[in-house]
Amino acid sequence: MRQVADDGGQNPVSPPSSTPVASTTSDFVNQSAKLSLKKPLSPGNPDSVAVEARFVTPEDAVVVTADGNRLPTVPLQEAYKLNALRDEANSEALGQRANHEGSEIELASLSGCNEARFATKFVFEPPLDENGEASQRLMGDTKRSMPPSHTHPLFPPLPLYGPPSLLRNLQCWTFRASSFFLSAGFLGVIVLGALSTSIPTVCNRIWLRLTFRNPDASRPFYEDEVRRSSMRKEQERLWKRRKSFSRGNDGQECPLGNDGFVPTEGGPDPIICDVGYYARRVGLDMEEFHVQTEDGFIIDLWHIYDPREYTKLGDAERSHRGPEPFTGASKKRPKDPAQKPKFPVLLMHGLLQSAGAYCVNDDDSLAFYLCKSGYDVWLGNNRCGFRPKHALLDYSDPRMWCWNIRQMGIFDLTALTSRVLHETGFEKIGLVAHSQGTTETFVALAKEQRPELGEKLTVFCALAPAAYAGPLIGKMYFKFMRVISPALFRMMFGIHAFIPIMMTMHSILDPRIYGWLGYKVFSFLFNWTDERWDRGLKNRMFQFAPVYVSAESMRWWLGRECFAKHKCILSTKDEWRSEDREDGEGETDGPLAHPHVSHFLPKSLGPSRKTTDQSRRKPKGSTAWYNEKAPPFALWVAGNDDLVNGERLLRRFNRGREPHVKVVHSKVIPQYEHLDVLWAMDAR
């Protein structure tokens, strides 16, 4: 250090030792190296370094790089350490500058030339805000003096994968190689099991045919199926006529719809994975938006619209707007400026599905039905989906796949809601979710997670709500995943995408074969049947599933630590068993009647009066998941659902354990299975 003059230069003094700054700077550089996109000191890579951990919630921190991009969630201890070291280094450096005004701090003498350049740029220069001024957040919310002493048992910390290195790359390729063979073998066993259980059904159908009986005559909607099949053939005939004679005898186009919506696609169904195509078959259309989450993932948002009323936006306007949610003015483009705006509704899909599940039943598809009923319909997809994308990471990076249901709720749902609000100009939207879509919503709205999201929703409609596990979780193949250790789970299913060979088969198999095989496998796994579906459309239904999901998310569902162990998304096994004891013996797994749904259930299924005193052992709402920010709930429970137990969730509301949740509608449909709420012919 250069000596600095004091008292007018009469008594030269030496500055304090620079060792503490050197030590802190070195520690910060090392910590940043663990969390950066690449090695911070690598040549030509100055903007990928980690400079801050930003806390979206008290227990969810994303890494901000020097160029403003985001990297996914890191363990809390690592995030706190990065911020604390940064703040300490800045405080010490700025303090030295104040004590030795006019001097130059020769950082090269502290920690080496490369580290000095890194520290100079990313430690001692405060980041600038949007006005170009030094950010005041530096010494404030980036510093966390003490991280939480424990994490929620249902959401244990995710593993930390640092930037690429020889050792990390070797680890990744080892897991990818082992999981390719082991998960393919596991999938093969499942496929063989599904095919073997189909043998009795095939034999029965053959016997009925040989005895001149119709094996489909006993189906609940057989006559309706025949009628719909005839209608589709007639529409194909009319479409061919329209293509041959583009105009009728009176000079007008020959419309195919009787509801005023004129299809712009038609003919034989080619069975393709394209929501826009199926929208155009019913006189609607679709535009695709790209949305960036706060941890850098680029996810797809599909907008279903009436082309007579709305003009599709350009590519630039539909691209992502950066990671910050709930910012910017609306860009809505109705054709008629005087047109009354339609209320926006966001639809979220289930596990291993995409939002295309809402679009496979022609006019009876929920997305198309809502659009034609006067709503502005938006279809949200979770991270990765059909096309895994991230602002910084690529497919092979394990950080691309280090997420579970918590991140899907806190980041994905928030980003999608924000974009719909931005595009429509409304202050609130309606949310409809199915299965896992309800799970991520239940998690996100919880008071420990991101309850402010509830203030953006007018109502949360849950179809087959997935909060408590059904009896299917005890099946042998699911129990196997619960028994094996986390290390063995990762060895078998990898640290990247979960059984990616399923998506490979999706791209190479004929859609009819893939649809048939997909139904057999998922029916075997989840005890679904197609009794209430339109079989003529079944191959469509499985063109939008499965999609890419992370092995970590499946480990959250099926591994030994989280949902499969506790059988609940927000309560541990001990907590909900204690609630069962308060409710009285004999009601552990039985259905219940909510005040709004009691007329849908037999009287014997209602709450027992003799348990009233027992339920008062704890103060009302002492174990509540939600606070006053929660939106109104509406629930449709499939009574014949083995995958999840929606009736237990209704009991939670009925017993007053959620005093801040207003249940505005709820209904148990006894004959429905898990997917019937979407695909049953009478679902609408």
Distance, in Å, from the CA atom of 451 to the CA atom of 461, rounded to the nearest integer, reads: 17
- Among candidate residues 435, 550, 553, 615, the one labeled active-site is 435
Task: Name the β-bridge partners of 65.
Answer: 50
Distance, in Å, from the CA atom of 237 to the CA atom of 231, rounded to the nearest integer, reads: 10
Helix extents (H) in 219-264: 222-244
Residue 513 one-letter amino acid: I
- Among candidate residues 295, 364, 641, 676, the one labeled active-site is 641
Which tokens in the block code for residue 175?
A: 């897991």
- Among candidate residues 306, 418, 674, 676, the one labeled active-site is 674
Whether 378 and 410 have beta carbons less than 8 Å apart is answered as no
Whether 20 and 93 have beta carbons less than 8 Å apart is answered as no
Distance, in Å, from the CA atom of 267 to the CA atom of 241, rounded to the nearest integer, reads: 10
CA–CA distances in Å: residue 136 to residues 128, 142, 145: 9, 10, 18
Residue corresponding to tokens 């502290």: 110
- Asked if 534 is an active-site residue, the reply is no
- Asked if 290 is an active-site residue, the reply is no
Longest distance between any two alpha carbons in the chain, whole Å: 116
For residue 433, give the H/E element and its range.
strand 429-434
Whether 678 and 463 have beta carbons less than 8 Å apart is answered as yes
Whether 519 and 373 have beta carbons less than 8 Å apart is answered as no
Q: What angle do CA 377, 668, 574 make, to 5 degrees?
A: 100
Contacts of 201 (CB under 8 A, 6+ apart): none
CA–CA distances in Å: residue 174 to residues 167, 290, 498: 11, 33, 15
Whether 588 and 579 have beta carbons less than 8 Å apart is answered as no
End-to-end CA distance of the chain: 77
Distance, in Å, from the CA atom of 556 to the CA atom of 568, rounded to the nearest integer, reads: 11
My answer on whether omega of the bond before 16 falls inside 30° of 0, hence cis, is: no
Residue corresponding to tokens 């006559």: 223
Which tokens in the block code for residue 246?
A: 């583009």
Half-sphere exposure of 371 (CA within 13 A, CB side): 31
Which tokens in the block code for residue 54?
A: 């930003």
Whether 303 and 378 have beta carbons less than 8 Å apart is answered as yes
Whether 281 and 254 have beta carbons less than 8 Å apart is answered as no
- Asked if 641 is an active-site residue, the reply is yes
Distance, in Å, from the CA atom of 604 to the CA atom of 609, rounded to the nearest integer, reads: 12
Q: Are strands 375-380 and 429-434 parallel, antiparallel or unpaired?
A: unpaired
Active site residues: 435, 641, 674
